[in-house]
Structure 1
Amino acid sequence: MQHRSLSTNERRSLLCYLDYDGVTHFDSVYVNPNRGIHMAVPGPKLFEWAPILELLLQPFPEVKIVLSTSWVRLKNLEFAKAQLPPKLQAKVIGATFDNRVTQKLDFDLMPRGLQVWRDVERRKPANWFAIDNDERGWPSWCRDRLIKTEDHLGLSDNSVQEAIRKLLVSL
């Protein structure tokens, strides 16, 4: 199996592995053939907290984003990327799901933390962190790279924002 080699910039970059549901918006998101992807409850909006991440990353142009969301698996990378504000879209360099590397069923059976870790092993970034509401199955050796969000607060949580700021300054 062949896949492209990684550029020097990718190996030296600081990567943010980004989940969507429970991070960029409230976690209760559903897919319906008639309604498409939508919020399960009235009020919250899809990607309503994405501008917060944009502001947090603004002082750090070296940060690139790898999507670790099931939206890539459900639709595709281009669709998932297009949901973000333009400045975040420009930072997206790929996704943890790549059907040239992992079969869909194998990927779906893998806990999120292992999906991220396998991508880290493949990309070999200089540094990385993940923002996700799912902490199950994260390997013990990289749990300190996870910024855990709450399903109903995501990036709107001030403590999450502060954790991201502290982490970015320390890397």
Structure 2
Amino acid sequence: MPSGQNSPYLPASTPRSADVVLYLDLDGVVHHEKVLWHPRRGIYMSPYEAAGHSLFEWVHILESVLEPYPTAALVLSSTWCIRPGYSATLKRLPTSLRARFIGGTYHGRVHGVDPWNVSMFRTTPRGVQVQEDTLRRKPRQWIALDDDLEGWPDSCRRNLVACDGTSGLSNPDVQQELREKLHSCFVALSAKPA
């Protein structure tokens, strides 16, 4: 490849980073996993499989867990990066969380926008998507909060806080594990020079 040309496998620009990054999935984490999409209606909860649930119903729990860690940044690691898109997704979140976001695991400049590239991204296991993003952003510490547990590289599993898609962050055990891993990230930061 001639000098000065961008490789198709490298980001067009350096992505934003932070010392501690939480990779955040949405479906099955901040609300029930049974989410549907319709071209006119948009994204909504399945009235049959998730009756009584609402979008972002557990987001206040995430706000509470993150409150002691004002410098923890968020990266959107969800199919919502593609539809409805990163910016449209952030508009639906509380201001306190919106301000923490530094990007998403999918970005048109990095992955391309043609249907083949989108399809390739969608079929890449979530853990690999997150791993590739950590290699681009290079956070000093990171955690992933997700209910998609298939295909995570062994080297990344210790960073994963696994959710059950029907209870997500409403599960006290998940909340506790997230608190413990966040605490460990910040303890590790204070023990190592920058």
| Identity fraction in percent | 39
Identify the residue that residue 125 of structure 2 maps to in structure 1: 111
Query: How many residue pairs end up in the alignment?
Result: 168
Equivalent residue number for residue 101 of structure 1: 110
Q: What amino acid maps onto 1:115 in structure 2? A: Q
Alignment pair present for 1:15 and 2:29:
no
Is the contact between residue 147 and residue 165 of structure 2 (CA under 8 Å) also seen in structure 1? Answer: yes
Q: What is the deviation of 1:162? A: 0.2
The answer to whether structure 1 residue 72 and structure 2 residue 86 are counterparts is no
Counterpart AA for 1:59: P
Equivalent residue in structure 1 for 2:40, among 34, 44, 58: 34
Q: Is the 8 A contact 2:28 2:167 kept in 1?
A: yes
Q: Deviations over 1:33-52 (max 9, x none)?
A: 23221100331010010110
Aligned pair partner of 2:54 in 45, 61, 73: 45
Alignment deviations for residues 120-143 of structure 1 (CA, whole Å, 9 cap, x no partner): 000000110000001101001111
Q: Does 2:184 correspond to 1:170?
A: yes
Q: Give 5+ residue unaligned stretches, structure 2.
A: 1-5, 112-116, 186-194
Q: 2:165 — aligned with what?
A: 151
Shift of 1:6: 4.6
Aligned-residue offset at 1:119: 0.3
Q: Deviations 1:19-75 (Å, cap 9, x if unpaired)?
A: 000000000000012322110033101001011000100000110000001011112
Bigger mean CA deviation after superposition, 21-30 or 39-48: 39-48
Superposition RMSD on alpha carbons, in Å?
1.2
In structure 2, the partner of 1:87 is 96
Structure 1 residue aligned with 2:191: none
One-letter amino acid of the counterpart of residue 123, structure 1: R
What TM-score comes out, normalization by structure 1 length?
Answer: 0.94
What TM-score, normalized to structure 2? 0.83
Q: Which residue identity lines up with residue 110 of structure 1 in the other structure? A: T
Q: Could you tell me whether the CA contact under 8 Å between 2:22 and 2:75 is conserved in 1?
A: yes
Higher Cα radius of gyration: 2
Distance (whole Å) between structure 2 residues aligned to residue 145 and residue 25 of structure 1: 21
* SS of alignment partner, residue 75 of structure 2: strand
Deviation of 1:76 (Å):
1.4
